[in-house]
A and B are shown apart, each in its own frame.
Chain A
């Protein structure tokens, strides 16, 4: 499977600030997604990052809070805007449509965000 990297791996941020998380895949992929995993919880889909168009957000997530970019087939960013302590979570990107796979999604290592 492809190598998926995320930057930063962790960060501690102040309330009211914004953080941009980068996701890089070492090969071209069809689909990229962003998930959130709150402490002790399972994963929740935030949005599908669409190449060349606006992201598709799940219910409960909005573009103003979580703007997403996907400028090409290997890279995406998620920004967590105007952060509050409730945004403290692990944020994970995933990729699907890798060569030799069907529907499978593979995850990056995650970004652990703490908001004070």
Chain B
């Protein structure tokens, strides 16, 4: 079973702070990891992809991957109320479909 685990939250973070979202996965074969943001009533939107160990930064978002620990995280700096959404961690990609975690509901408090 190639499972992805996330804390469902809700995770409440004050505006301007760093939001830290975490995800673990069960298999050692996975090579590709993705973070999606999903607003209520909308489809998932890809915000970050990461394929190798270490950090990947894109604007206010940083994805971190540690394959030895089977752990992937997403940091959101300077959190804004518009960041309030459900964040879905997933693995797979390419010819494989994606396996998703249950998602973390993030609330940014103004």
Binding site for B on A (CB under 8 A): 1, 31, 33, 35, 41-45, 47-48, 58, 92, 94, 96-97, 102-110
Contact = CB atoms under 8 A, between A and B. Distances in A.
Interface of B: 32, 34, 36, 42-46, 49, 51, 88, 90, 92-95, 97-103
Contacts, number: 60
A42 B97 contact: no
B43 A104 contact: no
Interface of B is mostly: strand
A42 B91 CA distance: 13
B37 to A, nearest CB: 11
B43 A108 contact: yes
Contact of A42 (B43, B45, B94, B101): B101
A48 to B, nearest CB: 6
B95 A43 contact: no
